[in-house]
Homo-oligomer: A and B are copies of this chain.
Amino acid sequence: MNTSPFPSPEQRRADRAAKRHAVLAAAVAMFNERGFHATSLDDVAASLGISKPTIYHYLGNKDQVLLECLTMGLQQLIAAADAAHATPGRGLDRLQAFLRRYAEVNMDAFGACVIRTPEEALSPDSADRLRAMKREIDAAMRELIAEGMADGSIAPADPTLLAFTLAGALNWPARWYDPAGRFDAPGVAAQMVDILTAGIAPR
């Protein structure tokens, strides 16, 4: 342990990252609870016992804070898509692994913020950047579906409508999931993916 009173560059970087993360976590909780429009950075700052200029210093204005929150949510989904592609097995197995993680991210505060924030809340530039990330995630899901249809592990259907059906079902927990409720996120994700895989009709 470094006992010098002068922080090393690594400590300064870690400290800066921890502060940025604390601001983002406080902001995303308020965005999700009150909505973006009804949240002020003054309230976010007050909840952390800091001043608004401190938030400006670490992250920027309210639009930039939102963009960073949404980017964190979307990056988790892109990581899930990358992991699914690297997983061995049939297309259906890889799709299921991706969908479970996809659902879990949507029950995380940053993932939920992606679903809950209407595009109108963003500046045109930010909206463009986020749309590109969302397209990447949609493309990954459709690719896994195409692989599964090609190897016979997924039943034939319109791939676009299938992707929308899966995404819609698994986006929805962003609106209703309550971490303090009776369900845990991985359990919800696994059960929803089971329902979507096997369908509701009896077997």
Interface residues of A (CB under 8 A from B): 34-35, 37-38, 92, 95, 116, 118, 120-121, 148, 152-155, 157-158, 161-162, 164-173, 176, 183, 188, 191-192, 194-203
Report yes or no: A92 in contact with B162, Cβ–Cβ below 8 A: no
Report yes or no: A158 in contact with B198, Cβ–Cβ below 8 A: no
Report yes or no: B173 in contact with A169, Cβ–Cβ below 8 A: no
A99→B176 CA distance, assembly (Å): 19
- Among A148, A153, A161, A165, the most chain B Cβ lie within 10 Å of the Cβ of A165
Q: Kindly provide the distance from the CB of A77 to the nearest chain B CB, expressed in whole angstroms.
A: 16
Quick one: which of B152, B173, B202 contacts A153, CB cutoff 8 A?
B202
Check A195/B38 contact, CB under 8 A, given A118-B118, A155-B201, A202-B154.
no
A173→B160 CA distance, assembly (Å): 12
- Beyond A155-B199, A168-B173, A197-B201, 7 extra complex contacts between A and B, CB < 8 Å: A34-B120, A155-B201, A164-B172, A164-B173, A168-B168, A168-B170, A196-B200
List, in ascending order, chain B residues with CB within 8 A of A201's CB: 92, 153-155, 197-199
Q: Which residue of B lies closest to A35 (CB)?
A: B120
18 examples of A-B residue contacts, CB within 8 angstroms: A34-B120, A35-B120, A37-B37, A92-B200, A92-B201, A116-B118, A152-B202, A154-B202, A161-B195, A164-B176, A165-B192, A166-B169, A166-B200, A168-B169, A168-B170, A168-B172, A169-B172, A199-B199
Q: Which residue of B lies closest to A161 (CB)?
A: B191
Check A203/B155 contact, CB under 8 A, given A118-B118, A169-B166.
yes
List, in ascending order, chain B residues with CB within 8 A of A192's CB: 161, 164-165
